[in-house]
Amino acid sequence: MTERVKIAWKNVTVGFDGRKPVLKGLNLEAHEGRSLVVIGGSGTGKSVTLKTALGLIRPQSGSVEIDGEAVRPGHENDPGVAQIGMLFQSGALFDSLPVWKNVAFRLLHAEHVSEDEARTRALEALDQVDLDAHVADQRPGSLSGGMLKRAALARAIVARPKILFFDEPTTGLDPVTADVINKLIVRQVKNLGATAVSITHDMVSMRHIADDVAMIKDGQTLWRGSLDGVESCAHDEVCRFVRGESSED
Amino acid sequence: MNPFRAIGAGLLALLRSAGAVALFAGQALAALVRPPYFGGQLVQQIFKIGFLSLPVVGLTALFTGAALALNIYTGGSRFNAESFVPNIVAMGIVRELGPVIAALMLAGRVSSGIAAEIGAMRATEQIDALHTLATDPMRYLIAPRVLAGVLVLPILVATADIIGIYGGYLVSVHTLDFNPTIYVRNTWDFLSDWDIISGLIKAAVFGFILTLMGCYHGYYAQGGAQGVGRAATNAVVAAAVLIFAANFLLTSLFV
């Protein structure tokens, strides 16, 4: 059975201030209901790939399509923004707001849900990521790294998005907390039936959350296949990268 | 490097910056008139920019008025014009020093604060997060700050005018032996409505400039903590220079 393409990067080129392009005609697809993990060395364009789909960066050429409709950066009716949830590497919670208002931000300001209902749904989302209700009224600055990531995950899922993006979800966390976050991600993606795109350097995390894996090198897709393909060493360079072996070995 | 080339490159960079600021100002103004409006953010900014700035603006105005009275008395006594102290203090404060001093104090306090806050939000991806939460940062972050600046500065300057004139009164009555009743009457009779209104118009323009500079430099901050620091410094410098330039232009229009 052929899965429907949810997100498609079509010949995407991105460069900054006349420097060498970061993405050079990137082609990549994320299939509906599956979890795609993008791996690759530092500076290969993984974050930029994600940001083009979020409408945060405008490609110089090519396009990113969600459900066949082009993402329009900075446009109010961007097809992507209406259905996405995003977990940033740093959490990116708003310091000036208590945790529950961070979680309910989209409900309050974009969907204009009443404050009572927004709080109820925020508390439900916090519960789904195993955070106690007492965290709701704390400021993000008082949370630990793991709690911060969970609160940010609650914010990403509260509006029940159809697409979830994860930017280095386990970076900076101890192995046990990282395992908790990985399990939460898998559970939430499954609960929502969402399409997920993650970028990570953490190969343990990749094995936990990926259905499909793509490796980006020099601004292009080097290889794309299933997690099984990675495990069975379907591509030599991908295999070495996953094992953490440099080319000089 | 060829000096003409260096001058040309500098000029082009200046024009590029001016264009970017103008574009940003246009986006901020467009965000002001299009819903959704973030009333809570506006009230918060009015409190932060206005109420919390009252002590610094009030104290500055008090000492400026007092020093102005002493200087005018010293200068005026050289040609027997000491009696003009209340008139000149009032006019100087209301038309010029009140708006300019208050705006400069706020450039230091508010522009840098806004640039640092928004710059830190940029560095920690909070502005990107706003986009992904279907919220336009221009409307949520920029428009409330700029509108608060425009609304609050005239009120702050009106307060600074009163306190500045009172500073001149205190020195004149208690040190220079002016008659209090005559001092107040001379002040009141000499000021025209236009003197006051023109000062308040200047204040609104300065409020726009100093909040816009804070927002602009913060919004485009790059390079982590160092970039945030640079944004705050640039915001203060740009706001101060533009306030002086705008003051000259407006004074030319209003005389």
Listed by number, the residues of chain A in 39-98 with a beta carbon closer than 8 Å to a beta carbon of chain B are: 51, 54-56, 76, 81-82, 84-86, 88-90, 92-95
Per-residue confidence band for B37, with pLDDT thresholds at 50, 70 and 90: confident
Q: Measured in Å, how far apart are chain A's first and last C-alpha atoms?
A: 40
Could you tell me if B235 and B214 are in contact, meaning their C-beta atoms sit under 8 angstroms apart? Answer: yes
pLDDT in tens, B91-130: 999 999 999 999 999 999 999 999 999 999 999 999 999 9
Could you tell me if A90 and B113 are in contact, meaning their C-beta atoms sit under 8 angstroms apart? Answer: no
Six-digit token string for B233: 């410094």
Could you tell me if A183 and A208 are in contact, meaning their C-beta atoms sit under 8 angstroms apart? Answer: yes
Instruction: Indicate yes or no: CB of A92 within 8 angstroms of CB of B129.
Output: yes
CA B229 vs CA A36, A67, B122, B129, B234: distances in Å: 38, 42, 13, 22, 9
Q: Are strands A61-66 and A69-70 parallel, antiparallel or unpaired?
A: antiparallel
> Ramachandran region of residue B215, left (φ > 0), alpha (ψ -120 to 50) or beta?
alpha
Instruction: Indicate yes or no: CB of A81 within 8 angstroms of CB of B131.
Output: yes
Six-digit token string for B225: 């903590």
Q: What is the ipTM of this complex?
A: 0.89
> Ramachandran region of residue A18, left (φ > 0), alpha (ψ -120 to 50) or beta?
left
Could you tell me if A211 and A227 are in contact, meaning their C-beta atoms sit under 8 angstroms apart? Answer: yes
Per-residue confidence band for A73, with pLDDT thresholds at 50, 70 and 90: confident
Residue A20's closest CA among A43, A40, A41, A1?
A43
Per-residue confidence band for A77, with pLDDT thresholds at 50, 70 and 90: low
Per-residue confidence band for A75, with pLDDT thresholds at 50, 70 and 90: low
Q: What is the pLDDT of residue A224?
A: 93
Q: Which positions in chain A touch B126 (Cβ < 8 Å)?
A: 92-95
CA A170 vs CA A153, A176, B217: distances in Å: 12, 10, 32
Distance from CA of B59 to the nearest CA of A (A): 29
Stretch B11-25: mean pLDDT: 93
* SS (HEC) of chain B: CCHHHHHHHHHHHHHHHHHHHHHHHHHHHHHHHCCCCCHHHHHHHHHHHHHHHHHHHHHHHHHHHHHHHHHHHHHHHHHCCHHHHHHHHHHHHHHHHHHHHHHHHHHHHHHHHHHHHHHHHHHCCHHHHHHHCCCCHHHHHHHHHHHHHHHHHHHHHHHHHHHHHHHHHHHHHHCCCCCHHHHHHHHHHHCCHHHHHHHHHHHHHHHHHHHHHHHHHHHCCCCHHHHHHHHHHHHHHHHHHHHHHHHHHHHHHHC
Q: How much is the mean pLDDT over chain B?
A: 94
pLDDT in tens, A9-31: 999 999 887 678 899 999 999 99
Q: What is the pLDDT of residue A2?
A: 61
Q: For chain B, which residues make up each domain, given as ranges?
A: 39-254
Q: Measured in Å, how far apart are chain B's first and last C-alpha atoms?
A: 45
Q: What is the pLDDT of residue A112?
A: 87
For residue A248, pLDDT over 80 is answered with no
Six-digit token string for A158: 């509260």
For residue A62, pLDDT over 60 is answered with yes
The 10 Å Cβ neighbour count of residue B188 is 11
Could you tell me the strand order of the sheet in which A195-199 lies?
A84-87, A163-167, A195-199, A35-39, A212-217, A220-226
Q: Return d(Cα B6, Cα A116) in angstroms, integer.
A: 60
| Percent of chain B surpassing pLDDT 90 | 87
Q: What is the pLDDT of residue A3?
A: 78
All domains in chain A, ordered by first residue: 5-243 (3.40.50.300)
Could you tell me if B126 and B141 are in contact, meaning their C-beta atoms sit under 8 angstroms apart? Answer: no
Identity of residue B20: A
Stretch A174-193: mean pLDDT: 88
Per-residue confidence band for A235, with pLDDT thresholds at 50, 70 and 90: confident
Name the one residue in this structure whose structure tokens are 């574009």.
B23
* Peptide bond connecting B36 to the previous residue in cis, omega within 30 degrees of 0: yes
Q: Which residue pairs, CB below 8 angstroms and at least 24 apart, start in B189-193?
A: B190/B86, B190/B87, B190/B90, B190/B91, B191/B90, B191/B91, B191/B94
As a dihedral over the C-alpha atoms of residue A91, residue A92, residue A96, residue A100, rounded to 10 degrees, the angle is -50
For residue A1, pLDDT over 60 is answered with no
CA A224 vs CA A215, A229, B11: distances in Å: 6, 9, 48
Q: Are strands A163-167 and A195-199 parallel, antiparallel or unpaired?
A: parallel
Q: What is the pLDDT of residue A230?
A: 85
For residue B1, pLDDT over 90 is answered with no
The residue of A19, A109, A157 whose CB has the most chain B CBs within 10 angstroms, and thus the best one to mutate to test that interface, is: A109
Could you tell me if A83 and A161 are in contact, meaning their C-beta atoms sit under 8 angstroms apart? Answer: yes
Could you tell me if B74 and B178 are in contact, meaning their C-beta atoms sit under 8 angstroms apart? Answer: no
Q: What is the pLDDT of residue A247?
A: 65
Could you tell me if B207 and B154 are in contact, meaning their C-beta atoms sit under 8 angstroms apart? Answer: yes
CA A155 vs CA A110, A129, A151: distances in Å: 13, 10, 6
Six-digit token string for B105: 């104090």
Nearest CA in chain B to A159: B133
As a dihedral over the C-alpha atoms of residue A216, residue A191, residue B132, residue B149, rounded to 10 degrees, the angle is -150
Q: What is the pLDDT of residue A21?
A: 87
Q: Does B223 touch chain A (CB under 8 A)?
A: no
pLDDT in tens, B219-250: 999 988 999 999 999 999 999 999 999 999 99
CB nearest to B132's CB, from A86, A93, A112:
A86
Nearest CA in chain B to A156: B133
Nearest CA in chain B to A80: B132
pLDDT in tens, B161-215: 999 999 999 999 999 999 999 999 999 999 999 999 999 999 999 999 999 999 9
For residue A79, pLDDT over 60 is answered with no
**C-alpha count within 13 angstroms, C-beta hemisphere, residue A96:** 11
Instruction: Indicate yes or no: CB of B129 within 8 angstroms of CB of A76.
Output: no
Q: What is the pLDDT of residue B81?
A: 87
Instruction: Indicate yes or no: CB of B131 within 8 angstroms of CB of A105.
Output: no
Q: What is the pLDDT of residue A174?
A: 87
pLDDT in tens, A109-149: 888 899 999 999 999 999 988 899 999 999 999 999 889 99
